[in-house]
Amino acid sequence: MSKPVFGGNAGMTSEYLEIRNLRVTFDGFTAVDGVDMTLLQGDLRFLIGPNGAGKTTLVDAVTGLVPATGSITKSGVELLGKKTHRIARLGVGRTFQTASVFEELTVLQNLDIAAGAGRSPWQLLRRRKEVLPEIEEALETIGLTALRDTPAGILAHGQKQWLEIGMLLVQNADVLLLDEPVAGMSHEEREETGQLLRRIGAQRTVVVVEHDMDFMRAFATSVTVLARGKVIAEGTVDQVQNDPQVQQVYLGTATAPQEA
Ligand SMILES: Nc1ncnc2c1ncn2[C@@H]1O[C@H](COP(=O)(O)OP(=O)(O)OP(=O)(O)O)[C@@H](O)[C@H]1O
């Protein structure tokens, strides 16, 4: 496995996150059942599957929220068994189905707090005097520069999700796991989110857990399909859409991949 450059561009072929034989069990029920996945920098990977397939549990395992067995390495560093904050410091960030921003604080203050995580007291002191360049950059990337002094609580739904993504960017996350980022968004917001994910995904590894198949078709560079805790298909959008097993799993559901 080639060595990545943290926060930089390690090239499209560098392996960034390797998941091997991942297993998560809740009281004898196996929610994630021997999953293998290799995620490369520059990949915009969609993780799809019916309700209860184990998608969120897999993300929870990668970010240290549930105990798991197997192996999850980022650039050769084992993540399994590490505490959530250590995993975050290693550059693995995630969002939840419900945006978790500080509603009373402004956009800038939210980013400032996120950027503070993991910084030295000296850096924190310096930070009060000026807006850090990485925060300016994140504001630009997420398109919220004009709203930097707006309380997060009055942002539109989509803008809150973008702020959350911005908070991961200022923490230098280069593996981002996003749980249903476009749920509840308008068509325009979805489109903008897709463009945002493309922009940030070019130099990072982005995993999107999603039920929105139109969104997946428009923006996925690769897709992994989970069902009952196992990977049943992986490949391009076309490959998974044409996979008979995938069609069978989705048969009769409103979001079937074959209903293009
Ligand atoms: N903390 C827990 N304790 C017990 N069972 C759990 C726990 N978390 C998840 N599960 C079970 O594990 C299975 C996988 O759940 P998970 O939420 O990962 O699926 P999902 O693919 O994300 O589903 P959805 O698309 O509905 O969000 C489900 O059967 C769920 O009930």
pLDDT for 206-255, tens place per residue? 999 998 999 999 999 999 999 999 999 999 999 999 999 998 887 645 45
CATH number of 15-103+173-250: 3.40.50.300
Q: Mean pLDDT over residues 155-180, rounded?
A: 93
Cα gap 73→16, rounded to integer Å: 8
pLDDT of residue 206: 95
Residues in the chain, total: 260
Ligand 1 pocket member 224 (CB < 6 A): no
pLDDT of residue 251: 64
Query: Is it the case that residue 258 has pLDDT exceeding 90?
Result: no
What is the CA(82)–ligand 1 centre distance, in A? Answer: 22
Strands 175-179, 205-209: parallel, antiparallel or unpaired by DSSP?
A: parallel
Per residue in 61-79, pLDDT (tens digit) is 999 999 999 999 998 899 9
Residue with tokens 């019916």: 50
Q: Contact 174/143 with Cβ under 8 angstroms?
A: no
Q: Kindly indicate whether the ipTM for this predicted assembly is greater than 0.90, answering yes or no.
A: yes
CB atoms under 10 Å from CB of 220, counted, come to 23
Cα gap 87→248, rounded to integer Å: 36
pLDDT of residue 121: 59
Q: Contact 42/67 with Cβ under 8 angstroms?
A: no
The tokens describing 161, both together, are 């999700």
Cα gap 155→107, rounded to integer Å: 9
Q: How confident is the model at residue 123 (pLDDT cuts 50, 70, 90)?
A: low
Per residue in 181-197, pLDDT (tens digit) is 999 899 999 999 999 99
What is the CA(56)–ligand 1 centre distance, in A? Answer: 7
Per residue in 130-142, pLDDT (tens digit) is 778 889 999 999 9
Q: How confident is the model at residue 13 (pLDDT cuts 50, 70, 90)?
A: very low
What is the CA(128)–ligand 1 centre distance, in A? Answer: 41
Residue 76's identity, in one-letter code, is G
What is the CA(63)–ligand 1 centre distance, in A? Answer: 15
Q: Half-sphere exposure of residue 178, counting CA atoms within 13 Å on the CB side?
A: 34
Asked which of 5-19, 66-80, 82-96, 234-248 is least confident by mean pLDDT, the reply is: 5-19
Smallest CA separation from ligand 1 atom 12, residue: 31
| DSSP bridge pairs for 224 | 47, 234
pLDDT of residue 21: 98
Query: Which ligand 1 atom is nearest residue 226's CA?
Result: 21
Q: Which residue has the higher pLDDT, 126 or 183?
A: 183
- Contacts of the segment 195-200: beta carbons below 8 A, 24+ positions apart: 196/141, 196/142, 196/143, 196/162, 196/165, 197/44, 198/44, 199/141, 200/141, 200/165, 200/169, 200/176
3-state SS assignment for residue 78: strand
Query: Taking the domains of the chain in order of start, what are their residue ranges?
Result: 15-103+173-250
- Inter-CA distances, 185 with 139, 159, 189, 190, 260, Å: 20, 10, 6, 6, 20
Per residue in 19-63, pLDDT (tens digit) is 999 999 999 999 999 999 999 988 899 999 999 999 999 999 999
pLDDT of residue 128: 58
